[in-house]
Amino acid sequence: MPITTDPKLRSFVDYDEKSHFPIQNLPFGIFTEKGQTRPGVRIGDMVLDLAVLEKRGFFPSRPKLFNTSTLNPFLAMGRSTWRAVRATVSRLLREDVGELRDNSELRGKALIPVQNITLQMPVAIGDYTDFYSSREHAVNVGTMFRGKENALMPNWRHLPVAYHGRSSSVVLSGTPIRRPRGQVILENQENPVFTASRLLDFELEVGFFIGPGSELGHPVPVDAAAEHIFGMVLVNDWSARDIQKWEYQPLGPFTAKNFATSISPWVVPLDALEPFLCKAPEQVPRPLPYLQAKNARTYDINLEVYLQNSRISSSNFKYLYWNIAQQLAHHTITGCNVNPGDLMASGTISAPGEGGCGSMLELSWNGSKPIRLHNGEERKFLRDGDTVTLTGWCQGAGFRVGFGEVTGTILPALD
């Protein structure tokens, strides 16, 4: 276990044991303060300015990486650089190291309260792919529309199903989401109408960012995938179910998914998640050799969904049938190249049982079983004015390594 994840580590920056951002986490993001945008690391309710540290020579063997408005140059450098920067940051923030703690001038410039900054998109996203890797979610949806006997399509247990999304509409947490309009088929009608979506939904997902890219024509081996993955964020891939129902055959999601995808602002490095590795679900039948990892593992990440401040679902990343290494290996097996900053999302993550569904489609069983909120209101799908919040964290011994939140409020459709 890397020293940066040692449960005994303590920082001179104060935070409580339920904070998502202890010294064991140290997620990376992009922020603006006093008109300048640059990278930072979150610690408690403070942000450590990496540009200041770089200017002061704390990363002497590194090229200039933090005089920039995206994390892409840093992501492209690879694991040895990530770990060197992380180790330096961890050391400077320790309670028993005085280099930053006792330098009031440097501390005043390098540590900034989060209330004094504006968060930005952490990465300039080139391409976006959304997987469909939760068996529980796939079975729920398949049962609704094809019956229990045909819930999973024949290919589902053999490969990580996915579609290519739209990176231009990936937005930061807090961005309002405009209800989309499109073609839908109303009940007992033969021809479509153009209208605002009536079946707007969220999807509880986790995504990962590519670090070093791959060469065209050269697949990424499943056991080397982690060398190409920097870290993870929460993802809400908003969906218009009625638009999707009409358009998805034969090529899959299009306008029902391309209007908005929200991500959380802090990218949690895989190194911070390493203590929470756990055994991946058993896969039957055994995948083809290119999808067989020597030690198939995933991450124990608690996930929750809140609608209008009511918790409506609790799930966990560990239930994903296809893990992130398999997703990347399959994505590139044809020779498709990936680039620094590409985003890949898990697809809706549902847990066993009714309380773990990762979408309104499942929670209300396609609108047939409305869910009740704490204020007595009921929902089948999302209404204008609704706010959806996703959160997630790994639970350690007296600390959490968390992702913060990804949130969005629904605005009415344009006239």
Catalytic positions, written as ranges: 137
Query: How far out from the chain centre does Cα 29 lie?
Result: 13
User: How many whole angstroms separate alpha carbon 264 and alpha carbon 30?
Assistant: 12
User: How many whole angstroms separate alpha carbon 21 and alpha carbon 292?
Assistant: 34
- Which long-range CB contacts under 8 A does 243-248 form with residues at least 24 apart? 243/180, 243/182, 243/183, 243/184, 243/197, 245/184, 245/185, 246/183, 246/184, 246/185, 246/192, 247/182, 247/183
The encoded tokens of residue 283 equal 């896969």
Of 136, 242, 262, 224, nearest to 182 by C-alpha is 242
Residue 156, C-beta contacts closer than 8 angstroms, at least 6 positions apart: 132, 135, 138
How many C-beta atoms lie closer than 10 Å to residue 113's C-beta?
A: 11
CB 209 within 8 A of CB 124: no
Measure Cα distances from 243 to 13, 128, 187 in Å.
Answer: 48, 21, 13
HSE (CB half, 13 Å, CA atoms) of 210? 25
- Alpha helices by DSSP H, 20-133: 50-55, 72-77, 79-93, 98-101, 104-110
Residue 92, C-beta contacts closer than 8 angstroms, at least 6 positions apart: 48, 53, 58, 99, 100
